[in-house]
Structure 1
Amino acid sequence: MINSYIRAIEYYFPNNKEYNDPEDRMTKKIGIEVKNIASADEFASDLAVAAATKLFASSNVDPTEIDFIIYCTQSPDYYLPTTACLIQDRLGLSTTCGALDINLGCSGYVYGLSLAKGLIESGSAQNVLFLTSDTYSKYINPKDRSVKLLFGDAASATIISASKNPQNGQIGPFTFGTDGKGANNLIVYGGGLRERITSESSIEEEDEFGNIRSRSNLYMNGSEIFNFAMKQVPNAVNGLLKKTNETIEDFDYFVFHQANQYMLESLRRKMKIPNDKFSIEFSDCGNTVSSSIPIALIRDYKSGKIKNGDKVLLVGFGVGYSWGVGSVVLNMQ
């Protein structure tokens, strides 16, 4: 029987930093002090390539082993071709390597792990390079505090490999959910084929809270996103626990999408998760969208909060609305 497991994780931040005012009331609420921001000529695929290069250098994974790339982004280089194809070429990977993009945000890491597991355990791949990368900063109007204080740019690279020994670690099971009725609460209206960029796309408007944005900027209804998370995330976690006949106590650690301090602490308290088993890893990088879970996971692993053999619950949720819950048993190099 073929088993899949997380073999190694790395991440990459762009060099530019943007600081939130530590005395600002909102900064204290969200717990984000610093974000990393891509430069004008630096794009999500560049960050992803840097993360992959860093992973190959820091682990014993040889690029020739990779036979599939999954690239999760909402900041693609082009409408087409698929950015994963461009990354395959830039990394010099084999032309027998499969490659695809998935357009998901904060639930993307959980979804991508599930896809990698399916490819490996069906025998379609042996070593999947799973990349996440976003540059939300390029969508953000600097006069819109509702999103400017939150989002940072980043990329992650994960190797998921095949094994015939379950002791090497495990991925899954998973549960997923979608509610497209919430799409308008976190969206960039302008830029796709339904609403192409025109001269009107850059017209700025001010909302009731003094935030300024245009149709080509990122819009977020923070209160609605919070309400969604508080209702749906506990339901989603309970759905997986019911599916596997487990309880919160059966898990050694919990890595939720690293949205912000207020939201995560509210969820932790509501779900009665012990503080010392709950990841908080975003004060120096912000909300990094699909990269937030792997960044927190490897940071907590390297700091000793998680060790090999631990059973970790991963929870992604956000734009879409989209959510996914899955478990992993770690055995990283």
Structure 2
Amino acid sequence: MAAFLKAISYYLPETILTNEELVKEFPEWTVEKVAKKVGISQRHIAAKDEFVSDMAVSASKKLFTENKIDPSEIDFVLLCTQSPDYFLPTTACLVQDRLGIPKTAGALDFNQGCSGYVYGLALAKGLVAAGIAQNILLITSEVYSKHIQASDKGNRTIFGDAASASLISTDGFAEIGEFELGTDGSGYEDLIVKNGGMKSTKLGDDSAEDYLYMNGSAVFNFTIAAVPGLIDGTLKKNGEESVSGIDWFVFHQANSFMLNHLRKKVGIEKENFLMHMQNCGNTVSSTLPIVLKEHKHSFKSGDKIVLAGFGVGYSWGGNMLTVV
């Protein structure tokens, strides 16, 4: 049975952190330097008492309202996050209850980052194909700001908080095609929060290992090496010979420098390459659905859209959507 992306909504927290505000804390930088380096002017930051479940609920309620969806129709909840409310219970269970989704629905979290939306589409398609569920609520929600140390100017310029909610069903505006997925766990230390898991629980001393660490140059090198092959594999899996047969490309919105480098390396024309991060930053697993939502008005029947997610893990995933 075919699976379709039926609807998308997203939520951004009210608090906005602008480049002007960041430069006040880090005067060695300028507003122009930040904008040029990462292509981001502002990012949304979750409130102190706002967490993944809160944002997930807000995004889902927007989805239900904007698309006249009754929560009783949902028969599975997939929630992608690397900043869950608790180690346990599963955040998806909290969201199921708060949204009034039937108790007969399945619900699970999966800990994936920048490739998370593509992986979520793969899981949802599998549930539909197996006849396990027909209306899957796929949520991405991250509060990376709570992982970042106040003195970490590099990561604070890049990451913003956000949540998205998508409905995957047996009909919709775009059919979900074939997937190209990959993993290289040897790079796990290049983007990591060391403390907090069962392997290292030394919390409370405000050490650097309590917060997000990113080896930017290593992540950049991984991306430049992995993404061209990811695109090639995704095209082949979907019966396409070259990038010229694709109408739109949506890459994980890491930063503008990396994306422009990748676009040129893969050979994608600028007008076919969609971006939307200037006013929300790198929102991790929510970047792809945000771009799709913002540009949905540009899609027409028959259009082919290639999605590419890549990053923490290392992990990468590609898929092709075909607009019906």
TM-score with structure 1 setting the length: 0.91
- What amino acid maps onto 1:14 in structure 2? P
* Aligned pair partner of 1:53 in 58, 61, 66: 61
Which of 178, 201, 211 is the equivalent residue of 1:217? 211
Q: Residue 176 of structure 1 aligns with which residue?
A: 181
Partner of 1:234: 228
Q: Are 2:292 and 1:297 aligned?
A: yes
Task: State the Cα deviation string for residues 99-122 of structure 1 (Å, max 9, x = none).
Answer: 010100000000000110010111
Equivalents in 2 of 1:271, 1:144: separation in Å? 32
Aligned residue type for 1:190: N
CA contact (8 A) 2:252 2:308 kept: yes
- Aligned partner of 1:317 in structure 2 is 310
Alignment-derived partner of residue 206 in structure 1? none
Q: Deviations over 1:267-293 (max 9, x none)?
A: 001111010110110000000000000
The Cα shift of 1:3 comes to: 1.4
Q: Flag structure 1 segments of 5+ consecutive residues without an equivalent.
A: 204-213
Cα distance in 1 for partners of 2:274, 2:101 equals: 34
- In structure 2, do the counterparts of structure 1 residues 199 and 34 end up closer, same or farther at CA, with 3 Å as the change threshold? closer
Counterpart of 2:13 in structure 1 is: 14
SS of match in other structure, 1:138: helix
Q: Which residue of 2 aligns with 1:209?
A: none
Q: CA deviation at 1:168?
A: 5.6
5 Å-filtered alignment, 1:279-290, equals 279-290=274-285
Structure 2, unaligned runs of 5 or more: 21-29
- Alignment equivalent of 1:109, drawn from 109, 117, 120: 117
Code of the residue aligned with 1:85 in structure 2: it is C
Contact 2:141/2:164, CA 8 A, preserved across alignment:
yes
Aligned with residue 193 of structure 1, among 182, 189, 198: 198
Q: State the TM-score, normalized to the length of structure 2.
A: 0.94
Q: Which residue of 1 aligns with 2:77?
A: 69
Q: Give the distance between the partners of 1:14 and 1:131, measured in 2 at CA.
A: 16
* Off by >4 Å, runs of 4+ in structure 1: none
Q: How many residue pairs were aligned?
A: 314
Q: Which amino acid aligns with 1:277?
A: N
Preserved contact between residue 127 and residue 162 of structure 1 (Cα < 8 Å): yes
The root-mean-square deviation of aligned C-alpha atoms, in Å, is 1.4
Contact 2:183–2:313 under 8 Å retained in 1 = yes
Q: Which amino acid aligns with 1:4?
A: A
Deviations 1:156-176 (A, max 9, x none): 00000114xxx9631020010
* Greater share of residues in helix: 2
**% of aligned pairs identical?**
50
Q: Does 1:119 align with 2:112?
A: no
Whole-angstrom CA distance in 2 between matches of 1:136 and 1:195:
19
